[in-house]
Structures are given as structure tokens and as C-alpha cells.
Copies of this chain bind each other. A is one copy, B any other.
Amino acid sequence: MKYTLFGESHGPAVGVVLEGVPAGLALDMEAIQFDMSRRAPGRNDLSTARREADVPHIASGVFEGRTTGAPLCAVVENTDTRSKDYERTRDLARPGHADYAAHVRYGGFNDYRGGGHFSGRLTAALVFAGAVAKQILAQKGVTVAAHISSVYGISDDPMEELEPLLAAQKKDFPVLNDEAGQRMQEAILEAKGDLDSVGGAIECGVFGLPAGLGAPGFGQNAEGIFSQYLFAVPAVKAVAFGAGVAFGLMRGSEANDPLYVDEDGSVKAEQNCAGGINGGITNGMPLTFEVTMRPTPSIARQQFTVDMAKNENAVLELKGRHDPCVVHRAVPVIEAAAALAACELMGV
């Protein structure tokens, strides 16, 4: 299964083509809309004020309610755009944003309005694709679930079982520990008050994967496959599996998962330090990882930058509606990327 995104933040729509969807799947549109809404903007003051219904329209690949096996194209309209906000600062590269790199890459022809194709808006289409992937995985007993693991240094409880994650998915602010979540939200609102933004991290698990998927080689190892999908999500700057960066602080005797035969005869690891992957191959434990997301680069504060047209220094004061934090809205996006990666790993 391959996905191809298209669209721009201020174009008519964003969309996705999914190739290789198994035929005969009765799409649960309600479940898809649930994930779309978890990501949708404009729901509260933690997110951008742009309001989008984010209802996907299916243009192909579904017939009489079931997937046909042909490419599935879904389109999500853009309805609430204010392009004029971007006119004035068109030539001023937003620090931390793709503006300057894209300007060089595309010779200045990229659509600058709202970040164009670089906008987080594209993740609406990605969430659609992921929601379809989740339904395919569900038929194979595989579930993907994530939570906010930290915002601006404030940590949620660590993820352990699937159930509490499924409960967290239903929350407006998807954490395991609501008290920590409360403090995270305060940090976000405080940053917003300061015309600033904050970063954070998302922890995700893929539960139910069988052992023996993947291979050690380039392009085949489970970590490489997942990272390819995860780094395609805007703002992700780090990907860590299992114990992740903590491995650097460990001894082998701590990091090695003692193995044992469980009551049902299956082989298990005691701690799952490896995040379900050894030698690039799944080991039957939940596949776990954490991604770090940078703070939203679009902030209203005065910033020093360059005028790309004049190639001279400039000062930027940004208008427009921006997210003071994207971590909470990105939870279903990371799940989507993980679900697509899991499909690849399972040979879907």
C-alpha cells in the first residue's frame, strides 16, 4: 500500500491517493471521521482559530460501500482560508519554517500561502489514509495507539498497556495522566500568551504485530520503515524505538530483555526495552517508539530573518492564525504514519 498526498493549505483542497488497498473492506466512515476530528483545527484555544469540518470525500476506489482494490482517492476541502494574511510577508522567510529551503528548492515558485504544500494541513489527508490503514490492521488483530508523552518538558505517564491508550484517544487532550495534561495545556496557553509556541513528544505503540516481520537490510528493517513514515510528518525531528535515547545510558545487562516462555507458550521479553524490534525484525512484543516534535515555527513574535527577494536582513512580524503547539493535534497523525508503516511491514 502506497500513499500519495496532494494539495496546499490555501488551495481548493488537500487529498490522498492510496494504492494497494485490499478489496472488499467495508469502510467505517464513522471511525475515519473520528480520527479526522481528533486532528481538525479550531476546536479550542489550544489550536489555530482556522475552522475546518474536515469531512473526506471519496473520489475513487470505493463501490457500494466497499473498497474495490483500485486506487482510493479522498479529498478534504479547504473552506476557511485567509490568504491575504500571507501577502505582506511573502518574501520574508519564517525562521524554523521551510520557507527559505523551499525557496531555493523550487526557485521561488512554491505556493507561500499558509505554507502551501508544507503546511500541517496536509496531515488531514494523511490521517484519512491512516484511518483506512487502521481498519485493515484491525482485521489482522493489530491496533495502533498513541498519546502525548510530553509538552515543553512536562511528562505524561509512560505507556504500558493498550486499554488506557484507547481511553486517552477519546479525550480532547490525549494523555494518560490528566493532571499532567492540565499542566501541559497551561504551558501551551502561557506560550500562546507570550506570542510563542512549544514543542513536545508523542509515544506510540503498535499492538498485536506478530514476531518475524522485517529484515536486517537497508530498506527492510522495521526501524527504517517506520522512520521513513514518521519523518514524513511535518515537525518530527527525532525518532526513537523502545528505550530510545536512554540506551546510551545503559549497560547491556540492563538493556537486554530477559526472554521467557509465557503461559500460552509464546516467547516474551520482560521489559520490552527493544521496542518490539531486534535486528530490524519484530519480536512479538508491542512495537513502541517516541517522536519529538519541534515547536510550531510560526509565531507572532518579532523575529530576525531575511527578505528572500532582496537578499537582505529583515524583521518579521507574522500575522495569520497559528497553533501554539501541534503535539496534541499530531497524535492521530503519528498513529496514521505508524499504521501505514505497519501495513508495509505486514506486506499489505
* A positions within 8 Å CB-CB of B: 3-8, 11-15, 17, 19-20, 23-24, 59-61, 63, 66-73, 75, 93-102, 104-111, 116-118, 150-153, 191, 194, 196-201, 211-219, 221, 223-224, 227-229, 231-232, 234, 236-245, 247-261, 265, 267, 269, 273-275, 277-284, 292-299, 301, 303-306, 308, 311-313, 347
A72 to chain B, nearest CB (A): 8
A330 to chain B, nearest CB (A): 12
Q: Which residues of B contact A301 (CB under 8 A)?
A: 252-253
- Determine how many copies of this chain the complex contains: 4
Q: Would you give 14 A-B contacts (Cβ < 8 Å), ordered by A?
A: A12-B60, A69-B110, A69-B215, A96-B278, A97-B279, A100-B211, A101-B211, A191-B251, A196-B252, A198-B251, A224-B228, A240-B292, A252-B298, A252-B299
Q: Which residues of B contact A237 (CB under 8 A)?
A: 223, 240-244, 247, 274-275
Q: Which residues of B contact A234 (CB under 8 A)?
A: 216, 279
Q: By the criterion CB–CB under 8 Å, are B252 and A297 in contact?
A: yes
Assembled-state Cα–Cα distance A237/B257 (Å): 15
Q: Which residues of B contact A297 (CB under 8 A)?
A: 252, 255-256
Given contacts A13-B59, A117-B216, A238-B244, 7 further A-B contacts (CB under 8 A): A7-B59, A7-B71, A94-B256, A95-B256, A100-B211, A151-B248, A224-B228
Given contacts A117-B60, A238-B240, A306-B267, contact A279 B101 (CB under 8 A): yes
Q: Which residues of B contact A258 (CB under 8 A)?
A: 95, 303-305
Q: By the criterion CB–CB under 8 Å, are A216 and B15 in contact?
A: no
**Closest B residue to A255 using CB positions:** B295
Given contacts A109-B63, A305-B258, contact A283 B11 (CB under 8 A): no
**Closest B residue to A93 using CB positions:** B259
Q: Which residues of B contact A153 (CB under 8 A)?
A: 248-249
Q: By the criterion CB–CB under 8 Å, are B252 and A60 in contact?
A: no
* A95: contacting residue among B60, B227, B269, CB under 8 A: B269
Q: By the criterion CB–CB under 8 Å, are B70 and A105 in contact?
A: no
**Closest B residue to A118 using CB positions:** B279
Q: By the criterion CB–CB under 8 Å, are B295 and A260 in contact?
A: no
Q: Which residues of B contact A252 (CB under 8 A)?
A: 96, 191, 196-199, 295-299, 301
**Closest B residue to A242 using CB positions:** B237
Assembled-state Cα–Cα distance A239/B291 (Å): 10
* A311: contacting residue among B194, B198, B242, B265, CB under 8 A: B265
